[in-house]
Amino acid sequence: MDFTTLGNTGLRVSVAGLGAGGFSRIGQGTGSSRAESVEIVRLALDLGINFFDTAAIYGTESIVGEALAGRDRDDFVISTKGSVATGDELVSPDTLVKSLDQSLRDLSVDCIDVYHLHGVAPKAYAYAVDSLVPALLREREKGKFRFLGVTEIPPLDARHESLTPAIKTGWPDVIMIAYHMMHQSARSLLPLTTRQGIGVLIMFAVRVLFSEAGRLKRVVDELVREGQLPAQLEDEAEPLGFLLHEAGARSIIDAAYRYCRHTVGTDVILFGTGNADHLKANIDSILAPALPQGDLAKLEELFGALVDVGLDAPGNLNP
């Protein structure tokens, strides 16, 4: 496993991170038993992953806690989140603190490494900063968590309207942002996160756009019809087939993880799975070399201007 330092936090983290949300929820969303999900987390740790991301809303915190129980606390980094809203109603500071306390119990830890404001929509940003951040900082002083993070809500904020001011003012220690081969807009923010020393977690590297059979072709064809992509792509059975060659990627999913991993300014590439073979394959891709420069140039030429592509959300909205 390769490791990096998460921004200015000092945390040494694996560049591959296991997410316990998304469509899979470490197998809970795809029919796995609790015991099977526990084993996936343990296998990830055994394979070198030390960064585990979950959230109160996922219903997987206690599974992660059970899987990591008995392990040396220095061997893993826990990232979890508290929701800023329930439906259209913003949560109170007291409600968020109660969620934090419950997360500590469910995870069976005394201190969470990174605690995020979860899914901050643009319309909720000012409230989150003015009311929720001060409440959380008081809890941090009590030793409940070490570093404060914030995650965007990609299906409702494709242009990063919440994270942009957060990054510019530098109040979060860590951010989680959506980024992939056909939604490259986050790349413009990475030089600033680097200067500010903000750790960067990448979500949506693959999702269903690149993993569900036939979806990529349907999406590309629609973008061609809308005039957002060149007409010749509609004639391609595999629109990203140019990435698949001996010196390039083994598969589109392989390319997707390698693209994100080797973008300058990213720290941890998150993925979710309840399948041991997928777990191993995803780690292999994240640890593989960068894509050839020619392929990267073509990805930027074709898709660099696209926004709000492949941001499909499961019921819990984030990975």
Any idea where the domains of the chain sit in the sequence? Answer: 3-303
The CB-side HSE value for 120 (13 A sphere, CA atoms) comes to 28
Tell me the pTM. Answer: 0.95
CATH of 3-303, one of 3.40.120.10, 3.20.20.100, 3.40.430.10, 3.30.390.10: 3.20.20.100
Q: How confident is the model at residue 314 (pLDDT cuts 50, 70, 90)?
A: low
Q: What is the pLDDT of residues 55-100, one digit of tens each?
A: 999 999 999 999 999 999 999 999 999 999 988 899 999 999 999 9
Residues in contact with 288: Cβ distance below 8 Å, sequence separation at least 6, in sequence order: 254, 257, 258, 261
Structure-model confidence comparison of residues 237 and 273, the more confident one: 273
Residue among 114, 49, 65, 103 nearest 272 (CA): 49
CB 238 within 8 A of CB 221: no
Q: What is the pLDDT of residues 90-144, one digit of tens each?
A: 999 999 999 999 999 999 999 999 999 999 999 999 999 999 999 999 999 999 9
What size, in residues, is the chain?
319
Q: Find tokens 């901050």 and name the residue.
A: 120
